[in-house]
Amino acid sequence: MTTTGTTLVIGATGNTGSRTVAQLTAAGHRVKAASRRETPVAGTEPVPFDWYDPATHVAALDGVDRVYLIPPVGDSDPAATMLPFLHQARTAGVHRAVLLSSSAIPEGGPAVGTVHQALPGLFEQWAVLRPSWFMQNFTGTHAHARSIRDEGIIWTAAESGRVGFVDAEDIAAVAVRALTDGQSPNADLVLTGPEALSHDDIAAIITEVTGRAVIHRRLSYEQMRDRLTTQVPVEFAAMLAGMDRAIAGGAEDRITDTVQRLTGRPPRTFQALLEREMQCSG
Ligand SMILES: NC(=O)c1ccc[n+]([C@@H]2O[C@H](COP(=O)([O-])OP(=O)(O)OC[C@H]3O[C@@H](n4cnc5c(N)ncnc54)[C@H](OP(=O)(O)O)[C@@H]3O)[C@@H](O)[C@H]2O)c1
């Protein structure tokens, strides 16, 4: 196995960052695991990092030649925070950057779409991962997972629209390839799971695998926005409800071969993820 230099993983405690750290270290790569918390991540050099505290950036970039980038979550203008850091990273010797964006946000689009657009001009080697919605939204700390646990209900304005839900383990597996392969992708990669599923399908699979009855309740755009406004700022709530409306219109009804192409194996099913989680908790 060829090892690379050192990768700075931003968002190392999060859904894709934690799995990227685990898979990089398991493959023998050196990792600096960045977080605002002092959470040591086994086998890595922990490093304090806050997007909004430039004083943490110099030490985080020391000795690093590649970065995995999770944008500051919930920031409507991440470019204002990220671009100065990315210029600094290039000057510090980083030559490969892999950015986590979203299937819903095209190059040059809102929020992280501006960072996506700037990336090829900043780094010789780059990739933008654009995953569809995460399967872990139904099992982790996301609002869907909480309402499933508390009420046995998934609330959406997505109607019967289908989504190519993807396992965060598969996103991490693609991130590892994009960070470490000899040939950098230098591409925008849309990632999905193996099948497009509606939220009715998701509820039925959870019911079947766990034995606990879960249903999907359909809300209008306005009802969904108002429900989310109790949890997040109103503009963000409107954006999330709008994403549901786009799903209802078929915007996420697709699957891609990216996971298979980059990792050499098919993406995991939602059923397999639930069975894996049941084994871990049982
Ligand atoms: N959920 C989905 O279905 C989905 C689909 C497509 C794309 N995405 C994208 O995935 C990204 C991650 O979303 P997620 O919900 O999965 O979150 P996550 O990665 O599980 O958690 C956010 C991570 O960012 C770090 N972080 C937050 N604020 C930070 C700050 N100011 N400075 C440094 N680090 C900070 C947190 O680390 P610490 O708290 O340890 O500092 C944490 O590790 C988002 O950009 C989202 O748009 C999500």
Domains of the chain: 6-131 (3.40.50.720)
The pLDDT of residue 40 is: 64
The pLDDT of residue 41 is: 75
Contacts of 141 (CB under 8 A, 6+ apart): none
Place of tokens 């968002």: 11
- Phi-psi category of residue 58: left, alpha or beta, with phi > 0 → left and psi -120 to 50 → alpha: alpha
Ligand 1 lining (C-beta closer than 6 Å) = 10-11, 13-17, 35-37, 49-52, 70-73, 100, 102, 131, 133-134, 137
* Cβ–Cβ < 8 Å for 147, 141: no
The pLDDT of residue 105 is: 94
In this prediction the pTM is 0.97
The pLDDT of residue 39 is: 67
**Which two three-digit tokens encode residue 257?**
């071969």
At 43, the amino acid letter reads G
Q: What is the CA radius of gyration of the chain?
A: 19
The pLDDT of residue 115 is: 98
Place of tokens 């685990």: 22
The pLDDT of residue 1 is: 47
Q: Which stretches in the chain have pLDDT values below 50?
A: 1-2
The pLDDT of residue 53 is: 97
The pLDDT of residue 3 is: 57
Query: What is the residue with the minimal CA distance to atom 8 of ligand 1?
Result: 102
| Phi and psi angles of residue 223, each rounded to the nearest 5 degrees, phi first | -60, -40
What separation in Å is there between the alpha carbon of 178 and the centre of ligand 1?
19
Sign of CA dihedral 232, 101, 58, 9: positive
The pLDDT of residue 282 is: 66
* Coil, helix or strand at residue 87: helix
As beta bridge partners, residue 188 has: 128
